[in-house]
Chains A and B, each alone.
Chain A
Amino acid sequence: MNFRRFLGLDIAREKYAFVKDALVGHVSAQKAADRWVKTTCGYCSVGCGMMLGLRDDKVVTSRGNPDHPVNRGKLCPKGLAEHYVLEAENRAVSPLLRHEGLLTPVSWNDAMKIMAAKFRNVAEKHGSQAIGVISTGQMVTEEFYTLGKLVQLGIGTSNFDGNTTLCMSTAVSGYKRSFGSDGPPGAYEDMTKADVVLLIGANIAENHPILCQHLDANPAKTLIVADPRVTKTAMMADIYLPVKPRSDLALINGIAHILIRDGLIDREYIRDHTRGFDELCEFLETYDSEYVSGITGLSTESIHKVAHLYGKANAAFIGWTMGVNHSSKGTETVNAINNLALLTGNVGRVGGTPFSITGQCNAMGTRETGFTSSLPGYRKFESAADREELAALWGISADRIPAERGLAYPDIISAVLKKKIRALWIIATNPLVSFPNIDVLKQALDELEFLVVQDCFHPTPTTQLADLVLPAASWGEKEGTYTNSERRVSKVNAAVPPPGDAKSDFAIFLQLAGELGCYDELFPGWETPCDAFEEWKRVSEGRLCDYSGITYEALEEVGGIQWPFPKNANSSPEATRRLYADGEFETDDGRARFFCADWEPFPEQPNADFPFVLNTGRTVEHWHTRTKTGAVAILQQLSPRAWLEMNPMDARRLSLRPHDLVDVVSARGRVRRVELRVTEVIAPGQVFAPFHFAEWNINEVTQDIFDPISREPNYKQCAVRVELSSAAQE
């Protein structure tokens, strides 16, 4: 404290002054901008349009773009504070190589040479499939497209997946099975046009708050929310269905049973556009209301009421997120949801759609272009025609394109454990916090010959284990596009250069391609993301996700365009587009499929040693593993610590009091000293904890069991016990 401040002469007048900003009016002088850069938010998949305000080439404010059709100027608290991410202290600023046990700065040239040499070495010794790559949903589409080619054709491994498998691969698998292709059919506008909105395992008020605006714009709707926990969204509902954990599939089958029994189905639509109806009818006979009531814990009356509301609606919207996806029966549950939509003809109709609300800002981009679970442009590995078409577009021989998908994320990890994969490249994700049953992952990473972690932040729990850390540019420092949940492509722009020696992921991929000697073949003359975008437009042309009519200029102009938007499209860029409006699906015969998905109890039932069912989830202030939001002071202030929710009845039984520090213990591990929250939001017998906090990492106890089809982890249910933390740990 200086002397003038001590006396009180100095009251930091300049810092706390206000000015009239030309665009935003009266505002703190700290936040006044001299220029603005339009971009798209880099957190979730809602895809809010944003304006970054810069003063003296530093980003000082982030504001909602009032002109963007998704958010109309609003942002969630993470978005409003997103500019602080760019000045976070723990940014990765230099390539780091492990030398005598310590991560030591090296030049980019050395880093890339070493990485290429190590990869070559592993490929020579064990074959190129011994290299694994785990990517993300956080990069721009252009980077996903580039990375896909680099990994599959340049490095030559198909053991390539993303953290999107922890997030929405279930929705992908479900859409593929029901409709023949990935791609959410609807639009946010459907929420404003539907008579009935059914949300299953989707806490949008917490996780996608800006979507609530679209619901609010539709006061006539009936909002039905199914969730085992009384979430903020459940409290908004007209009808709340407090289902038992993982009984969603039974509920959906029960609704389908009533729809068929009571004739609330669209027989014409079923006849013309679907297959498998008769088998479904037969299968659903067992799902009468009494059976479903026994599984879900709901009354037969409320199941009947909801089924009739859904069946009689002119347009019915079903939205879901992780409550459905984070399940070992997830894909089948998505198919059951799609069954409901198909039975009632609520696909591609205004207001009527089965709609997976996605997680990450550009999970959709990697689904479209990524070359992980499918070939770019939703092409199928299994289809020779698709492989040949793609090979022709790229001017390569078709046999270089794998005829089947490589290992999915959890299978890459188990291949590492089995020493089948010897080198791993992790990009823009933090599995040391996000992967289920973390100890297995830690053991696996120890087995590797070479671990490269590419991230905007260092140290993170994952970069600390790396042999090589590659510092990447973050959102706000690079250009490209994101696709949001409703297939709307929006532009992402750089406002500032990356810190230190950090580079955009795009530049890193091209440099590695140069080192590997595949740059000229795969990325001839590429310099900017626009080069990737132009090629991607050609590759997507004629596909469901047709980008060929989209240009960067048009994206800047209209603030987001929904695909498909082919060249010479007959609709305006701003128009709302839906998939399958004509009832023509992407299957061989153009018909959607019904699936008979039988309910099963979740794998690890509570028992005498572990009597509680643990549910995990999010809070509005934080994003994923908190590498970004943990660096933002205001968000930390608003949500400083993890907590464990427990019903008062259970707390009384265990003599636990609010704010007690407790350990959460499963057969796999122990999370220590979590602050207890005693609340009626959670049902007796269940507990809930957020998954954001590395310091209280709930994935120490979650179960590493995966959906057999999508390979998504079953994060939402496992058996735990709760103990008062011993004082000795203090």
Chain B
Amino acid sequence: MNLPLLQQATEDGEQYRLTPAGIVPRRDRCAIAAEGSNLTPSRLPLAGEQYRFHLDMESCIGCKCCVVACNEQNGNPADIQWRRVGEIEGGTYPDTVRHYLSMGCNHCLEPTCMTGCPVNAYTKDALTGIVLHSAERCIGCQYCTWNCSYGVPQYNPERGVVGKCDMCYGRLTDGREPACVSACPEEAIRIEIVNTSEWRRGYAAQANAPGLPSADDSISTTRVSLDTAMLQNISRVDTSQVEPEHPHWTLIFMTVFTQLAVGAIAAMWASQAFARVAIARVPAAIIVLIAILALCASTLHLGRPIYAFRALSMWRRSWLSREVLFFSLFAAAAIVYAGLLWVHSGSSLYAGACATVLGFAAVYASARLYTVAARPMWNSSHTFAEFYLSAAFTGTMVSALFTSATSNALLQMTAWAALAIAAQQAVKFAWLWHSRVFELRAAGELLRYRFLGIFLTRLYTLPALAAVLLLLDRQLWVRIACIAVAIALELAGRYLFFVSVVPKNMAAPYLRQRRAA
């Protein structure tokens, strides 16, 4: 790529200012100089180099000019801020220190937004290292917003796509500073050139700062200057009030019902294979239908459902692509399985085996995509346990309706799965509650205070349901009622899974605009 990027720099230092051209500055009149040329590099990056932000926290006065200038530059609505200013505070009166973190995108060496993206909407510019996002390619799956430890990509519901800071690539190409750099009255933000291999070796001391997540997740390139020797106990000011995350209802339904379908198909196939039970054709078809509906519903999660098919394209890199791929294959195999059962074909057994294996793989991919460093609560084996146990719990229970011969065995499995889920939830809560990691502890607090009712109802109902299944006479209506309760419990559990996760993020200000109810 050959850009005229910054080439005007050598010809005319004036070019770098947020200045209407044609007005010749009168620099002689005033001591304060608005010379901007030292705020951006005077040359292009060479091979093995890239551009990066430098924030001088000692200079930043938290005026938020950069935030407003960024929104003005990019035409974003007020609730989307590609540059944000957070606060950290420490010390004891009168030796109090408060610093401000002004952050856009960190244009990481290993951008997690990019590696997770199922549609290749992200590219890391070969010349500048700027992480660019294409609104045209984006399908609005928002997976990047879960992957970034800094909360940089932000979903714009008006557009149905994500957007993010591109270091004002277009302004750099004009030979101007990024809008934030240009607006800063304190010259606290600059663009620098960094040698990527040197940075990779020694980033920790300069990319990490109080109020920022560890740069290890993606190797952030932003350099932060702060005299940490002066600081005592400096920490984020926004941790005393944690708001729940978005529930993503379509994903709650999609994950619960696909897991139900995988569990049910597996249970039916197992009954057929090991207990030689004949499987009724209508129930099998119904279960396949549930799986297909759940998968279709999940496209409504996308900002651009019409382009859902694109999500397959990055299967070599993205777990989201793999989830879509395996569930598509599972659905296809399940359709074949149900079809063969319908015509009483002997080869249904092979198709069932196929569907079962693909279903297990799909649930794995599904769980795997949530285990990202930026969301510590999800990033654990509990996510796999929750997804597989949910399949075992609801799947066996539903299949027991249709396979009278094995229904006892299946319902016993259901009961044990219910008890296992309750145990797993208890263990998970203890893990969160006693964690030293802020995001985990805060998730525990959300469950303990904000969502206690839902959490405890589920925790107590699960063993009760197990008791009913193990001990009571299991008439049909009891079993149907139990299924309804079980599905409700799993939807509630998945709701908690989505809302109680506390993402890593940069420090925020103390007061934030409350989300519209």
Which residues of A are interface residues toward B (Cβ below 8 A)?
5-9, 11-13, 15-16, 18, 20, 22-31, 36, 51, 61, 63-67, 69-70, 72-77, 80-81, 189, 192-193, 205, 209-210, 212-214, 216-218, 230, 232, 235-236, 240, 242, 574, 620-621, 633-641, 643, 647, 657-659, 675, 677-684
Give the distance in Å from the alpha carbon of A217 to the alpha carbon of B32 in the complex.
Answer: 6
Which of B58-66, B269-277, B373-381 has 4 or more CB atoms under 8 Å from chain A?
B58-66
Q: A11-B136, A26-B170, A634-B68 are in contact. List 17 more A-B contacts (CB 8 A).
A: A8-B160, A11-B159, A20-B174, A36-B20, A66-B23, A67-B25, A77-B65, A81-B68, A212-B185, A214-B32, A217-B31, A236-B61, A633-B77, A640-B511, A682-B93, A683-B93, A684-B93
Chain B hits for A212, CB < 8 A: 61, 185-186
**B305: CB under 8 A from chain A?**
yes
Give the distance in Å from the alpha carbon of A620 to the alpha carbon of B163 in the complex.
Answer: 27
The answer to whether A633 touches B78, judged by C-beta atoms less than 8 angstroms apart, is yes
Q: Which residue of B lies closest to A36 (CB)?
A: B20
Question: B236 to nearest A CB, angstroms?
Answer: 12
Return 24 A-B CB contacts under 8 Å, by A number.
A8-B304, A9-B304, A13-B135, A16-B135, A23-B22, A25-B176, A29-B75, A31-B72, A72-B25, A72-B34, A77-B63, A193-B31, A205-B63, A214-B32, A217-B32, A636-B78, A637-B81, A639-B511, A640-B513, A643-B510, A677-B511, A679-B510, A681-B93, A683-B94
Chain A hits for B89, CB < 8 A: 679-681
**B391: CB under 8 A from chain A?**
no
The answer to whether B160 touches A647, judged by C-beta atoms less than 8 angstroms apart, is no
**B92: CB under 8 A from chain A?**
yes
Chain A hits for B71, CB < 8 A: 634
Q: If the complex has contacts A23-B20, A192-B32, A212-B186, are A242 and B74 also in contact, measured as CB distance less than 8 A?
A: no
- A interface footprint on B135-149 (CB within 8 Å = 1, 0 otherwise): 110011000000000
The answer to whether B98 touches A620, judged by C-beta atoms less than 8 angstroms apart, is no
**B278: CB under 8 A from chain A?**
no
The answer to whether A28 touches B73, judged by C-beta atoms less than 8 angstroms apart, is yes
**B91: CB under 8 A from chain A?**
yes
Chain A hits for B304, CB < 8 A: 7-9, 11
Chain B hits for A232, CB < 8 A: 61-62, 98
Give the distance in Å from the alpha carbon of A75 to the alpha carbon of B240 in the complex.
Answer: 33
CB contact between A643 and one of B23, B59, B511 (< 8 Å): that residue: B511
Task: State the 5 A-B residue pairs at the shortest beta-carbon distance, nearest first.
Answer: A8-B304, A28-B75, A26-B170, A23-B20, A242-B94
The answer to whether B514 touches A640, judged by C-beta atoms less than 8 angstroms apart, is yes
**B428: CB under 8 A from chain A?**
no
Q: If the complex has contacts A18-B170, A66-B19, A217-B33, are A28 and B161 also in contact, measured as CB distance less than 8 A?
A: no
The answer to whether B32 touches A77, judged by C-beta atoms less than 8 angstroms apart, is no
**B436: CB under 8 A from chain A?**
no
Q: Which residue of A lies closest to B163 (CB)?
A: A16
Question: A355 to nearest B CB, angstroms?
Answer: 16
Q: Which residue of A lies closest to B30 (CB)?
A: A69
Chain A hits for B72, CB < 8 A: 28, 31, 61, 80-81
Output the residue of A23, A67, A621 with the most chain B CB within 10 A.
A67
Chain A hits for B161, CB < 8 A: 11
Give the distance in Å from the alpha carbon of A67 to the alpha carbon of B29 in the complex.
Answer: 10
The answer to whether B78 touches A637, judged by C-beta atoms less than 8 angstroms apart, is yes
CB contact between B65 and one of A23, A30, A76, A230 (< 8 Å): that residue: A76
Give the distance in Å from the alpha carbon of A5 to the alpha carbon of B157 in the complex.
Answer: 10
Give the distance in Å from the alpha carbon of A11 to the alpha carbon of B171 in the complex.
Answer: 23
Chain B hits for A657, CB < 8 A: 240
Q: Which residue of B lies closest to A560 (CB)?
A: B29
The answer to whether A12 touches B68, judged by C-beta atoms less than 8 angstroms apart, is no
Chain B hits for A24, CB < 8 A: 18-20
The answer to whether A680 touches B63, judged by C-beta atoms less than 8 angstroms apart, is no
**B97: CB under 8 A from chain A?**
yes
Q: If the complex has contacts A80-B183, A81-B72, A658-B241, are A242 and B93 also in contact, measured as CB distance less than 8 A?
A: yes
Give the distance in Å from the alpha carbon of A63 to the alpha carbon of B73 in the complex.
Answer: 11
**B404: CB under 8 A from chain A?**
no
Give the distance in Å from the alpha carbon of A230 to the alpha carbon of B93 in the complex.
Answer: 8
Which residues of B are interface residues toward A (Cβ below 8 A)?
17-26, 29-34, 59, 61-65, 67-69, 71-75, 77-79, 81, 89-94, 96-98, 135-136, 139-140, 158-161, 163, 168, 170-171, 173-174, 176, 182-187, 237, 240-241, 302-307, 509-514
The answer to whether B65 touches A189, judged by C-beta atoms less than 8 angstroms apart, is no
Question: B171 to nearest A CB, angstroms?
Answer: 5
Q: Which residue of A lies closest to B31 (CB)?
A: A192
Chain A hits for B135, CB < 8 A: 11, 13, 16
Question: B324 to nearest A CB, angstroms?
Answer: 16
CB contact between B33 and one of A15, A72, A574 (< 8 Å): that residue: A72
The answer to whether A73 touches B174, judged by C-beta atoms less than 8 angstroms apart, is no
CB contact between B68 and one of A80, A242, A680 (< 8 Å): that residue: A80
Chain A hits for B513, CB < 8 A: 636-637, 640
CB contact between B17 and one of A8, A29, A73, A637 (< 8 Å): that residue: A73
The answer to whether A8 touches B302, judged by C-beta atoms less than 8 angstroms apart, is yes
The answer to whether B139 touches A8, judged by C-beta atoms less than 8 angstroms apart, is yes
Chain A hits for B183, CB < 8 A: 74-75, 80
Q: Which residue of B lies closest to A647 (CB)?
A: B93
Q: Which residue of A lies closest to B139 (CB)?
A: A8
Q: If the complex has contacts A74-B65, A638-B64, are A9 and B306 also in contact, measured as CB distance less than 8 A?
A: yes
CB contact between B306 and one of A7, A20, A76, A684 (< 8 Å): that residue: A7
Chain B hits for A640, CB < 8 A: 511-514
Give the distance in Å from the alpha carbon of A25 to the alpha carbon of B178 in the complex.
Answer: 11
The answer to whether A8 touches B307, judged by C-beta atoms less than 8 angstroms apart, is yes
Give the distance in Å from the alpha carbon of A641 to the alpha carbon of B513 in the complex.
Answer: 8
Q: Which residue of B lies closest to A633 (CB)?
A: B78
Question: A13 to nearest B CB, angstroms?
Answer: 8
Chain B hits for A23, CB < 8 A: 20-22
Question: A15 to nearest B CB, angstroms?
Answer: 7
Question: A335 to nearest B CB, angstroms?
Answer: 28
The answer to whether A31 touches B241, judged by C-beta atoms less than 8 angstroms apart, is no
The answer to whether B75 touches A30, judged by C-beta atoms less than 8 angstroms apart, is yes
Give the distance in Å from the alpha carbon of A553 to the alpha carbon of B354 in the complex.
Answer: 84
Q: Which residue of A lies closest to B94 (CB)?
A: A242
Chain B hits for A192, CB < 8 A: 31-32
Q: Which residue of A lies closest to B61 (CB)?
A: A205
Output the residue of B63, B171, B237 with the most chain A CB within 10 A.
B63
Q: If the complex has contacts A77-B65, A217-B32, are A28 and B74 also in contact, measured as CB distance less than 8 A?
A: yes
Give the distance in Å from the alpha carbon of A63 to the alpha carbon of B72 in the complex.
Answer: 10
The answer to whether A77 touches B68, judged by C-beta atoms less than 8 angstroms apart, is yes
Question: A191 to nearest B CB, angstroms?
Answer: 9
Chain A hits for B29, CB < 8 A: 69, 574
Q: If the complex has contacts A80-B69, A192-B32, A636-B513, are A680 and B96 also in contact, measured as CB distance less than 8 A?
A: yes
Question: A213 to nearest B CB, angstroms?
Answer: 5
Give the distance in Å from the alpha carbon of A721 to the alpha carbon of B114 in the complex.
Answer: 53
Chain B hits for A64, CB < 8 A: 18
Q: Which residue of A lies closest to B161 (CB)?
A: A11
Chain B hits for A8, CB < 8 A: 139-140, 160, 302-307
Question: B221 to nearest A CB, angstroms?
Answer: 22
Q: Which residue of A lies closest to B77 (CB)?
A: A633
Give the distance in Å from the alpha carbon of A217 to the alpha carbon of B305 in the complex.
Answer: 54
Chain A hits for B139, CB < 8 A: 8
The answer to whether A31 touches B63, judged by C-beta atoms less than 8 angstroms apart, is no
Chain A hits for B302, CB < 8 A: 8
Give the distance in Å from the alpha carbon of A638 to the alpha carbon of B59 in the complex.
Answer: 20
Chain A hits for B237, CB < 8 A: 679
Chain B hits for A63, CB < 8 A: 18, 20
Q: Which residue of A lies closest to B15 (CB)?
A: A25
Question: B112 to nearest A CB, angstroms?
Answer: 24
